[in-house]
Amino acid sequence: MEIPCDEMDRNLFRASTQISLGNGKKCKFWSDNWLQGYAPKDIAPILFRLAKRKTNCVAFELHNNHWITSLRTITSINKINELVHLGSKLHEIRLH
């Protein structure tokens, strides 16, 4: 049975919680607020639309920068800017 909540409930929950990343296997890469209190989909919304797999965990996507290879073709300067911006934030992440 699905939890009875809508997008506003999810946004309120994300805004009022902090995620401890640990090994990154229980946290969704794109949608959870694990990156300096933000979800990567909020930091890079254009890249989020290009992502082929949006439900993989952080550990999977960070391993060998898999998140980059799961993006559809990057064809604009805005997409490149988001790639560089998100990549610089991800570069600092260390899983335990």
Give the confidence band of 90 by pLDDT, cuts at 50, 70, 90.
very high
**Whole-angstrom Cα distance, residue 80 to residue 78?**
5
pLDDT at 1: 61
**Whole-angstrom Cα distance, residue 4 to residue 91?**
36
List of residues 6+ apart from 39 with CB closer than 8 A:
14, 30, 31, 32, 33
pTM (global) more than 0.75: yes
**Whole-angstrom Cα distance, residue 43 to residue 77?**
16
Give the confidence band of 83 by pLDDT, cuts at 50, 70, 90.
very high
Cβ atoms of residues 31 and 54 within 8 Å: yes
pLDDT at 5: 85
Residue 71 has pLDDT above 90, yes or no: yes
Q: What is the mean pLDDT of residues 13-21?
A: 80
Q: What is the mean pLDDT of residues 30-47?
A: 93
